[in-house]
Amino acid sequence: MKLQPQSSADAVAQRLAQTATRCLIDEARLSPKPGLVDSRGNGAHSDLSLSLMERSAHSLTPTFFALAQQCWRRPADVALRQLIGRLGREGEQSMMAATNGVNTHRGAIWALGLMVSSCAMLSGHATASAISEQAARLAQLPDPAAPTVFSKGLRASHRYRVPGAREEAAQGFPHVMKRGLPALLHSRAQGASEQHAMLDALMSIMTTLSDTCVLSRAGMVGLEAMQQGAGAVLKAGGCASHAGRQQLAELDQTMLGLNASPGGAADLLAATLFIDRVALPAS
Ligand SMILES: CC(C)(COP(=O)(O)OP(=O)(O)OC[C@H]1O[C@@H](n2cnc3c(N)ncnc32)[C@H](O)[C@@H]1O)[C@@H](O)C(=O)NCCC(=O)NCCS
Ligand SMILES: Nc1ncnc2c1ncn2[C@@H]1O[C@H](COP(=O)(O)OP(=O)(O)OP(=O)(O)O)[C@@H](O)[C@H]1O
């Protein structure tokens, strides 16, 4: 979608929105991802496809643009948190309209929505730590208008007593800051291709994330298989190595066998790519 900037705020909002959409598309196309939709196929999903994921990603550009515009240079307070919540839920509706009711990106709207908002609050110029800290502040604020449905993610969080999407954000996205981003930068510095560096970032996120998508579909057995399998890929030398790619192929088979798909880890990979592309280098 073409957005016409009117001011510097609009120009930054346009850049952030287009980058967020691009990160969703790059995440979806990245292959081979265990259990997830990628350019090979639908993974463990019967209702998702790459073209649906791409359509959904494009439908979200106006949501990310509105979030960035509305958050431009504003402080974190309850009024802004409520506004972001409303825009995020409207984004979920746009996604559902674009996909005929299939949940392609709910978790991604949450993670990227908070990051786009945080970045705009900081005038579009901020380090990775500043963006993640601002996102944590937003996520910690109450949104009295939030619906009280007991979602699948919330149910898994309660049943297995593990943190979910809300906690990940409220803690400042530790799986982006301490796993995904360092792994992406490390693999690049070792000479890995961009594809392999992105896959290593995903593996690093998967080693410790309590992904409620995996828990909902495959329980604790599925979560342990995901964490252990991702660790084995990295231990074998990562995705740039032949041994690492063999472990990755095994993990893919295991996840498909368990009908498990790490959707939360995929969201956090997209968020990692976003931070990598928009954050200023730390001084
Ligand atoms: C917080 C959200 C993600 C709802 O989470 P909930 O735990 O209730 O479960 P739900 O099953 O609906 O979605 C969870 C999704 O998060 C992702 N996820 C799963 N596990 C994790 C994890 N450990 N960490 C991060 N993301 C995860 C997955 O994609 C999963 O599908 C969100 O939909 C929400 O409440 N949005 C309200 C609108 C809002 O406030 N938006 C503000 C930012 S735009
Ligand atoms: N490449 C991807 N493949 C699959 N899921 C992804 C991908 N990228 C991100 N996701 C995330 O995974 C979540 C979809 O997970 P899931 O299929 O478990 O949702 P659901 O439709 O609520 O559940 P189910 O299909 O089990 O009924 C979305 O919230 C989305 O953000």
Cα–Cα distance, 62 to 28 (Å, whole number): 19
Domain total for the chain? Answer: 1
Kindly report the average pLDDT of the chain as a whole number: 96
ipTM summary value: 0.96
* Ligand 2 pocket list (CB less than 6 A): 27-28, 36-37, 43, 45, 47-48, 53, 103, 105-108, 152, 213, 217, 261, 263, 266-267
- pLDDT above 90 (res 283): no
CA 124 to ligand 1 center in whole angstroms? 24
State the pLDDT at residue 144: 87
Residue 111's CB is within 10 A of a number of other CB atoms, namely 27
Query: Is 258 domain-assigned?
Result: yes
For residue 28, which atom of ligand 2 is closest to its CA?
Answer: 1
Containing domain of residue 149, as a range? 8-277
Mutate to test the pocket of ligand 2, among 95, 103, 267 (most ligand atoms within 8 A of CB): 103
Query: Is 3 domain-assigned?
Result: no
On the 0-12 / 13-18 / 19+ scale of CB atoms within 10 A, 142 is exposed
Query: SS3 of 41, please?
Result: strand
Query: Is 2 domain-assigned?
Result: no
Cα–Cα distance, 233 to 247 (Å, whole number): 5
Mutate to test the pocket of ligand 2, among 106, 166, 252, 259 (most ligand atoms within 8 A of CB): 106
Q: Is there a contact between 110 and 267 (Cβ–Cβ < 8 Å)?
A: yes
Cα–Cα distance, 206 to 180 (Å, whole number): 9
Whole-structure pTM value: 0.97
- pLDDT above 90 (res 117): yes
Query: Is 134 domain-assigned?
Result: yes
Please write the tens of the pLDDT for every residue from 73-106. 999 999 999 999 999 999 999 999 999 999 999 9
Q: Is there a contact between 265 and 121 (Cβ–Cβ < 8 Å)?
A: no
Cα–Cα distance, 104 to 52 (Å, whole number): 8
Query: Is 283 domain-assigned?
Result: no
Q: Is there a contact between 201 and 187 (Cβ–Cβ < 8 Å)?
A: yes
